[in-house]
Amino acid sequence: MTEDLNVRVEDVIRKLVGHMFSIPAEQISKVDSDADFFSQMGIGSLEAFDAVVTLHEILDVEIPREIDPESLSTLRQLSAYIVAAYPEGKIRMLLDKDVEALLEERVGTVDAL
């Protein structure tokens, strides 16, 4: 069950990052879950950081204090991190909405200040 959930979350991450950086669908479909995800997508460290921050905003959670970027370098690691760290309700929200809606509704607008 958890493995199936991980795969579904991987798919969301793949689509989300592809949408954020306008990556061709063909390139997205060829991503190896166990190789460096962001380099396969053709994006650098700054954009990778933006993607991870965006994921946290979509989940409406703060970035944890101790987070090692090396431990989030593959798609499988990213997915496992989200499934392990966040409640079922947030995961379900991630799976139930399309990418455009997730980006539109994410918390984090600076106008909250």
Partner 1 sequence: MTIVSGIVGVKRYADLRDAIHLGEAEILALIPHREPFRFVREAAICSEHDVSGIALWPAGHPIFVGHFPEFPIVPGVCQIEAGAQLAGVLFAYHASRSGLAQDMDDPLVGVLAGVRQSHFLAPVFPDAPLRLELSVGNAIGGLSIVKGAGFGLTGKKHLSFELTVGVAHRSILEGVRDSNGGSRK
Residue ranges binding partner 1 (CB under 8 A): 45-46, 49-50, 52-53, 60-65, 67, 69, 107-113
Residue 7 or 63 with smaller CB distance to partner 1: 63
Per the document, the length of the chain is 113
Instruction: Give min distance, CB of 27 to partner 1, in A.
Output: 23
User: What are 74's strand-pairing partners?
Assistant: 36
Instruction: Give min distance, CB of 8 to partner 1, in A.
Output: 24
The two three-digit tokens of residue 32, written as one number: 């190896």
Distance CA 41, CA 37 (A): 6
Instruction: Give min distance, CB of 48 to partner 1, in A.
Output: 9
Of 77, 5, 7, give the one whose Cα is nearest residue 37: 77
